[in-house]
Amino acid sequence: MYSSNTYSQKPASVSDTTLQLILEKLIYFEVFKHPLTLQELINLLSEKRTEIEVKSVLDYLIDKGICVEFELFFSLSDNIQEEVELRKRKEEWAKHFLNMSYRYGKLISSFPFVRALAISGSLSKGVIHEKGDIDYFIVTEHNRLWIARMALILYKKIFLLNSQKYFCVNYFISEKNLALPERDLFTATEIVTLLPLFNPKGIMAFQHSNHWISDFYSHFKNPVSVPKVEAHFPWYKKAIEKVFSNFLGDWMDLLCMRITHSYFQFKFKSFGKIKLERSMRSKRNLSKHHPNDFQERVSLSMKKRKIEIYEQLRMS
């Protein structure tokens, strides 16, 4: 897309490919106001690069007035000092949420037809706002996703008074339908940063089924960790699964899906068909509940920022 003559006064030590790889991740995390360290940036790249190569590009971007460094953090934002301080506070808040995730992860894993569980969202990156939620990614038994989802939602509404602070169950997929239709940077980031809580092999199977994420993250290792919930099948989980292991389970699962989908269509009727499908997807073996449509907002913000940055590079 960009030729070797695109950027003015670029030193020979800075290759076009490495520059584009680094800008991709700097632009993405700038949208989230999340400054990165040098090692974090190296870990996030879609191709392996040495510390010297990455630092050369960062120095070039700093010299051009495009990138800013503060306390060993790098960002394209001029508000980097404020964002670094906020990130440090979010890391402190995350410690409490990560501790709570074990308790609630154990609870969620005990529900019927839940086969694997992971933390997603901001907490999987080791940060969270004080008033944030723990987002969970849940793998269920095939063709029993909607029974599992309905049970968890009813528990949240009845016993947690609809509080989702530690119980935000917003993405479900079945164990035989693991490949996602979206193939973009946002989706790849969410997949690769998942923090397994229950049945790590099940989460790994999901990640391997979406092998295209290597186009965005070839060697990423999540530095964030969380205690794993041991596999357990309490008697009530076994009993309920046995009751719904036949045609009754098929009927109930379809009924739960239809009820939920009808509710979404009514509650989010202002969305329109395309936005509803994108942010509130309801398929037999997939349920996505992202009413803020954050994925689309991130995509649009990145496109706008990318145009600005590359124009600045050409003119500087």
- To which H or E segment does residue 86 belong? helix 80-109
> Residue 226 has which token pair?
């969380």
Q: What is the DSSP string of 236-293?
A: HHHHHHHHTSSHHHHHHHHHHHHHHHHHHHHHTTTS-HHHHHHHS-EETTEEE--TT-
pLDDT value of position 4? 44
Query: What's the whole-number mean pLDDT along residues 256-261?
Result: 96
Burial (Cβ within 10 Å: 0-12, 13-18, ≥19) of residue 5: exposed
CA distance 93 to 99: 10
Give tens-digit pLDDT for 9-57.
678 778 999 999 999 999 999 999 999 999 999 999 999 999 999 999 9
**What pLDDT does 8 receive?**
57
Residue 229 structure tokens: 């919930």
- Check residue 1 and give its pLDDT: 47
Distances (CA, A) of 81 to 125, 243, 256: 20, 57, 48
pLDDT tens, residue by residue, 94-105: 999 999 999 999
Q: Where in the chain is the domain with CATH 1.10.10?
A: 16-81+298-315
Spatial separation of the C-alpha atoms in residues 231 and 246, rounded to whole Å: 24
Q: What percent of the chain clears pLDDT 70, i.e. is strictly above it?
A: 97
The pLDDT confidence band at residue 316, using thresholds 50, 70 and 90, is low
Task: Count Cβ neighbours within 10 Å for each residue of 190-210 and write b for 16 or more, e otherwise.
Answer: bbbbbbbbbbbebbeebeebb
pTM above 0.75, yes or no: yes
Of 110, 111, 119, 198, nearest in space to 146 by CA: 111
| 16-81+298-315: CATH number | 1.10.10
Task: Give the side-chain half-sphere CA count within 13 A for 183.
Answer: 9
- Measured distance CA(219)–CA(216) in Å, rounded: 9
Q: CA–CA separation, 18 vs 267, rounded Å?
A: 45
Task: Give the tokens for residue 152.
Answer: 């968890």
Amino acid 46 reads: S
Question: Helix 16-31 to helix 294-315 angle, to the nearest 10 degrees?
Answer: 140
- If you average pLDDT over residues 205-223, what whole number do you get? 97
- β pairing state of 135-140 and 73-75: unpaired
| Average pLDDT over the chain, rounded to an integer | 94
Map tokens 């050409």 to a residue. Answer: 314
Q: What is the pLDDT confidence band of residue 293, given thresholds at 50, 70 and 90?
A: confident
Interatomic CA distance for residues 286 and 76, integer angstroms: 36
Question: Percentage of the chain surpassing pLDDT 90?
Answer: 88
pLDDT tens string 70-99: 999 999 999 999 999 999 999 999 999 999
- Res. 298 pLDDT band, cuts 50 70 90: very high
